[in-house]
Amino acid sequence: MNRDDALLEIDDLHTHFVGEGEPVRAVDGVSLRVARGAITGLVGESGSGKSVLSLSVLGLVPPPTGRIVSGRIRLGGRDLTSLSQKELRHVRGNRVAMIFQDPMTSLNPYLRIEEQLGEVARLHLGLSRAAARDRAVEMLDRVGIPDPAQRIRAHPHELSGGMRQRAMIAMALLCEPELLIADEPTTALDVTIQAQILELLAGLRDERGMSILLITHDLAVVSAVCENVYVMYAGRILEQGPTREVFKTPAHPYTLALLRSVPRVDRRAGVASGSHLLKSIEGLPPRLDAGPFQACRFAPRCDLVRDACTRAEPTLELREGRGRRCVAEPDELR
């Protein structure tokens, strides 16, 4: 990926949760780029640190224990990590918007949709109540909510799951942000609604050139809409590259294992050829509060583990637009 057309650049970010004893290293040295006008996927299991990473961008890691310890986050060249809370508030909801996993709990159940959307427009765009309302209605219409002038008076519980998520997306788009961070936007929804939401997100990219960082644990979602993918595990990126290539020829045992564990209708079990059975990954992810890692994080669960893996953590090799953090040869991964 060309450095020039990256909207969001995360360089060697470390976000820890500090308490008594060893800190929890939720994000342990992650570098990531979201290109302009593209959907970039960040995939990983729960506990991999992907949500913490997304919260770090907007400085929303819960205090007092959560802190960005080191690293840089740049949005269109501007360093977000050096901004004060006041300045960050101008960015939130305005230049960078975020939507969350469960729209039922992420929307305020006590306020009408009108109130929740309107306040963003009033805050960042200085619109009057009436003008903000009109803009909100317009946006609800754009995200595909039928009869938006009526719906806007509703409370979240009066809408279906899919419509709530659309409303959240509308809320995020009100100020025409450059970057949309979507943290598991489809996880809490039915499969058919999932497809609609993904279509909506793809539409935003195609028609408005929106840049999206899409965080998910679902490989199918990634392959459906993301141009690029980062595979995260235990606070580190293990593999990155164009989605199609990574999924076709994974270059890391973890990615391969993930792909193998996804059921597919059109093949005998397992995406990667050569296996007939759904293979789950044995073992559990490592603890993040045991100090810096001296070995490969995935080694205890890896089929291709060897001596070199336990002596030092592999560095990220970048080649031809793809990256991998593994000492094994790509040919070994079949």
Q: Which residues bind another protein (CB under 8 A)?
A: 58, 60, 89-94, 97-98, 100, 102, 105-111, 119-120, 123-124, 155, 157-158, 168, 171
Nearer to another protein, 98 or 219 (CB): 98
Beta strands in 36-139 (DSSP E): 39-43, 66-75, 78-79, 96-99
Least spacing, CB of residue 74 vs another protein, in Å: 19
Least spacing, CB of residue 102 vs another protein, in Å: 7
Q: How many residues does the chain have?
A: 334
Least spacing, CB of residue 107 vs another protein, in Å: 6
CA 178 remoteness from chain centre: 16
Nearer to another protein, 44 or 177 (CB): 177
Phi, psi dihedral angles at 72 (to 5 degrees)? -125, 140
User: 141 is written with which tokens?
Assistant: 């219409």
Nearer to another protein, 100 or 293 (CB): 100
User: 47 is written with which tokens?
Assistant: 């506990």
CA 75 remoteness from chain centre: 16
In 3D, which of 51, 45, 40 has the Cα closest to residue 15?
Answer: 51
Nearer to another protein, 96 or 299 (CB): 96
Least spacing, CB of residue 204 vs another protein, in Å: 18
Residue reference for tokens 């230049």? 95
Least spacing, CB of residue 187 vs another protein, in Å: 13
Query: What is the C-alpha separation between 68 and 8, in angstroms, rounded?
Result: 17
Least spacing, CB of residue 46 vs another protein, in Å: 16
Least spacing, CB of residue 155 vs another protein, in Å: 4
In one letter, which amino acid is 82? S
Nearer to another protein, 154 or 304 (CB): 154
Question: What does the buried/exposed string (b/e) look like for 120-136 if buried means 16 or more CB atoms within 10 Å of the residue's CB?
Answer: bbbbbeebeeeebbbbb
Any residues with CB less than 8 A from the CB of 145 and at least 6 apart, and which? 151, 163, 166, 167, 170
Least spacing, CB of residue 57 vs another protein, in Å: 10
Nearer to another protein, 189 or 229 (CB): 189
Nearer to another protein, 110 or 292 (CB): 110
Beta strands in the chain (DSSP E): 6-17, 24-35, 39-43, 66-75, 78-79, 96-99, 179-183, 211-216, 228-233, 236-242, 317-319, 322-324
Nearer to another protein, 160 or 310 (CB): 160
Any residues with CB less than 8 A from the CB of 68 and at least 6 apart, and which? 13, 14, 15, 56, 59, 61, 81
